[in-house]
């Protein structure tokens, strides 16, 4: 079976490798065969994540023919926290769907 391994270690940098593997190969074995297990030590201790076609998976999950195995690096900032901080900086009037109101109109219109 053919599997594509993808990892972006830094912005605008992508590692991509196509592998020919036997049926029933788990994620961990695919990384070992590619030689990425040494370079991606964070997968074992939880700093990195893995997914197949954008859906989170475990290191013991079995791959299928045509899968795209993606290795994710950790987020630097939680998206919810970043959004909250942007909103605080903009204020209630500068953000949101109803931030620009017509003069003398009702709230929400």
CATH number assigned to the domain comprising residue 47? 3.10.20.30
Percent of the chain with pLDDT over 70: 74
Q: Does 9 fall in a domain?
A: yes
Report whether 59 contacts 26 (CB < 8 A): yes
Would 40 be classed as within a structural domain? yes
Residue 45 lies in a domain: yes
Residue 20 lies in a domain: yes
Does residue 99 belong to any structural domain of this protein?
A: no
Pick the most confident of 50-59, 72-81, 84-93: 50-59
Look at residues 58, 4, 61, 59 and name the one whose alpha carbon lies nearest to residue 34: 4
Is 60 a member of any domain? yes
In a domain, 88, yes or no: no
Contact 75, 9 (CB under 8 A): no
Residue 16 sits in which domain range?
2-72
**Burial label, 63 (beta-carbon count in 10 A; 0-12, 13-18, 19+):** buried
Q: Is the pLDDT of residue 18 over 80?
A: yes
Count the domains in the chain: 1
Q: What is the pLDDT of residue 27?
A: 87
CA–CA dist 34, 7 (Å, integer): 12
The secondary structure of residue 104, as a DSSP letter, is T
């Amino acid at each position: 079976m053919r599997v594509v391994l993808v990892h972006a270690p830094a912005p605008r940098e992508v590692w991509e490798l196509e592998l020919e593997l036997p049926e029933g190969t788990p994620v961990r074995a695919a990384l070992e065969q590619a030689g990425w297990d040494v370079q991606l030590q964070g997968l074992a201790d939880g700093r990195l994540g893995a997914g197949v076609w954008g859906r989170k998976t475990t290191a013991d999950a079995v791959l299928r023919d045509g899968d795209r195995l993606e290795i994710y690096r950790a987020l630097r900032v939680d998206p919810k926290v970043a959004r909250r901080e942007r909103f605080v900086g903009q204020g209630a009037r500068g953000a949101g769907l109803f931030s620009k109101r017509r003069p003398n109109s009702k709230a929400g219109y």
